[in-house]
């Protein structure tokens, strides 16, 4: 494997118990010996192994239940649970494999190891990091998306608010689909491109969507700051009123009131939207739009690996709550997954019934497909 490329299984959030049954006196009974036909395990060995297996199940079941109970923002309903779990693909990451965006930064990629399995073409997701952060800080989250079949590309820039780097990354990735010798050749769904952004990168994701002329058709924004924060950098100001199509899922954390407040009594007429409520209201009804608040999350929880260890900034719970519904939204918008869509239907979708971890649920997605 080339330098800078790393392959691994999908993240494992199952039972952590493992067992080596090669105990003294059993090895020959249960393992083949080179040059000799394998022997069957005797009745005593078989009964012992059965007992060990039953004990493992007994230990593992409460361990798994306890793990779920102890996990912050653990999903409680089936759609979120489905997409919270790792997807069906092992994942390979490749750091700095492409050059360069308009600011000279290289590109990192996370993708299904078995690209094109069953002739599948993979949707592309371009990611924007928060201010002074780089994509490697979001490795757990980006690897999770790739396990669900997305090819994820991110500029290594730590200043993505303008959206240029995010759009540059998407266009570079799409060119790999017809590049001779590229592992992505004829493996990408070039008509299914989405973006995810965090903090400053959330504004960048909206800007990239606006500038893409329809290329980017879905966006997930996490911890989108008020426009007041970009007065000194006008190019980083995101204006959802300029987006007229596609789908947007806006997420903020309930503890992130300073940078991404749910409500703020400041008129939007002069300075633009200053809260998540204002951003949602300012987004055209021609956009399939969703907003929800992840309860207990702070500004940098998306950087969890999966807990808060290593997060750059305020983190309360870790990435757990950002695995399920954001993945489902991208599957709905980019892979036409009707099961995922059902989570976001206005008033009746699963997201509206999930009140353990989510609040401020808003959506304009109708029950029937338009």
Q: What is the CATH number of the domain that holds 225?
A: 3.40.50.1820
Q: What is the pLDDT of residue 66?
A: 42
pLDDT tens over the chain, length 370 residues = 444 555 554 444 543 333 333 233 323 333 333 443 333 444 343 333 334 333 333 333 343 344 445 899 999 999 999 999 999 999 999 999 989 999 999 999 999 999 999 999 999 999 999 998 999 999 999 999 999 999 999 999 999 999 999 999 999 999 999 999 999 999 999 999 999 999 999 999 999 999 999 999 999 999 999 887 777 788 888 889 999 999 999 999 999 998 999 998 776 655 678 899 999 999 999 999 999 999 999 999 999 999 998 788 899 999 999 999 999 999 999 999 999 999 999 999 999 999 999 999 999 999 987 6
Q: How many domains are there within the chain?
A: 2
Both 62 and 108 in a single domain? no
Q: Residue 5 domain-assigned? A: no
Q: What is the pLDDT of residue 228?
A: 78
- The pair of three-digit structure tokens given for residue 269, joined into one six-digit string: 């007429």
Both 135 and 275 in a single domain? yes
Domain boundaries, position 23: 11-70
Q: Residue 285 domain-assigned? A: yes
Task: List all residues 6 or more positions away from 111 whose beta carbon is below 8 Å from its beta carbon.
Answer: 91, 92, 93, 94, 122, 146, 150, 151, 152, 184
Q: What is the pLDDT of residue 226?
A: 87
Strand arrangement of the beta sheet that strand 188-198 belongs to: 5-8, 91-99, 106-112, 151-155, 122-128, 188-198, 216-222, 247-253, 288-294, 358-363
Q: What is the pLDDT of residue 7?
A: 54
- The pair of three-digit structure tokens given for residue 172, joined into one six-digit string: 């570079």
Both 58 and 89 in a single domain? no
DSSP string, 234-246: GGG---GGG--SS
d(CA 229, CA 262): 16
Question: How far apart are the two ends of the chain, measured CA to CA in Å?
Answer: 46
Task: List all residues 6 or more positions away from 118 whose beta carbon is below 8 Å from its beta carbon.
Answer: none
Q: What are phi and psi of 84, to 5 degrees?
A: -70, -35
Task: List all residues 6 or more positions away from 215 whose beta carbon is below 8 Å from its beta carbon.
Answer: 167, 170, 171, 193
Both 50 and 121 in a single domain? no
Domain boundary among 70, 92, 108: 70
Both 337 and 280 in a single domain? yes
Both 61 and 83 in a single domain? no
Question: Is the link from the previous residue into 306 a cis peptide, with omega within 30 of 0?
Answer: yes
Q: What is the pLDDT of residue 48?
A: 38
d(CA 127, CA 202): 9
Both 156 and 66 in a single domain? no
| Global confidence as pTM | 0.82
Q: Give per-residue pLDDT as tens, 67-105.
A: 445 899 999 999 999 999 999 999 999 999 989 999 999
Both 62 and 128 in a single domain? no
d(CA 324, CA 343): 10
Which regions of 37-134 does DSSP assign to beta strands (E)?
Answer: 91-99, 106-112, 122-128
Both 65 and 192 in a single domain? no
Q: Residue 188 domain-assigned? A: yes
Q: Which of 191, 163, 195, 168 is nearest to 98 (CA)?
A: 168
Q: Residue 183 domain-assigned? A: yes
d(CA 249, CA 354): 16
Q: Residue 1 domain-assigned? A: no
The count of C-alpha atoms lying within 13 angstroms of the C-alpha of 90, restricted to the half-sphere facing its C-beta, is 7
Q: What long-range pairs does 66-69 form, CB within 8 A, spacing at least 24? A: 67/13, 67/15, 67/16
């Amino acid at each position: 494997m080339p330098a800078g490329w790393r392959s691994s299984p999908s993240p494992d959030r199952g039972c952590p118990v493992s067992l080596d049954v090669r105990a003294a006196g059993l090895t020959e009974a249960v393992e083949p010996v080179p040059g000799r036909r394998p022997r069957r395990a005797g009745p005593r060995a078989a009964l012992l192994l059965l007992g060990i297996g039953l004990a493992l199940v007994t230990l593992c079941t409460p361990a798994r239940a306890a793990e779920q109970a102890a996990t912050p923002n653990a999903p409680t309903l089936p759609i979120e649970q489905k997409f919270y779990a790792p997807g069906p693909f092992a994942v390979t990451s490749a750091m700095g494999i492409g050059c360069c965006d308009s600011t000279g930064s290289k590109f990192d990629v996370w993708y299904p190891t078995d690209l094109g399995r069953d002739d599948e073409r993979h949707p592309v997701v371009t990611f924007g990091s928060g201010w002074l952060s780089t994509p490697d800080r979001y490795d757990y989250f980006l690897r999770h998306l790739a396990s669900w079949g997305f090819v994820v590309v991110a500029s290594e820039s730590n200043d993505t608010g303008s959206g240029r780097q995010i759009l540059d990354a998407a266009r570079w990735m799409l060119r790999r689909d017809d590049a001779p010798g590229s592992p992505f050749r004829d493996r990408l769904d070039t008509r299914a491109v989405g973006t995810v952004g965090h903090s400053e990168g959330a504004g960048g994701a909206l800007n990239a969507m606006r500038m893409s002329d329809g290329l980017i058709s879905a966006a997930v924004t996490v911890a989108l700051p008020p426009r007041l924060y970009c007065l000194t950098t006008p190019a980083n100001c995101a204006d959802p009123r300029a987006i007229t199509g596609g789908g947007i899922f806006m997420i903020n954390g309930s503890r992130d009131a300073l940078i991404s407040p749910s409500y703020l009594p400041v008129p939007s007429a002069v300075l633009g939207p200053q809260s998540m409520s204002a951003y949602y209201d300012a987004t055209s009804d021609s956009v399939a739009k969703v907003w929800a608040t992840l309860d207990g999350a702070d500004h940098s929880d998306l950087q969890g690996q999966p807990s808060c260890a290593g997060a750059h900034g305020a983190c309360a719970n870790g990435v757990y709550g950002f695995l399920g519904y954001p993945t489902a939204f991208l599957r709905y918008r980019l892979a036409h997954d009707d099961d995922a869509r059902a989570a976001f239907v206005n008033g009746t979708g699963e997201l509206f019934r999930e009140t353990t971890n989510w609040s401020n649920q808003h959506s304009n997605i109708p029950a029937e497909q338009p």
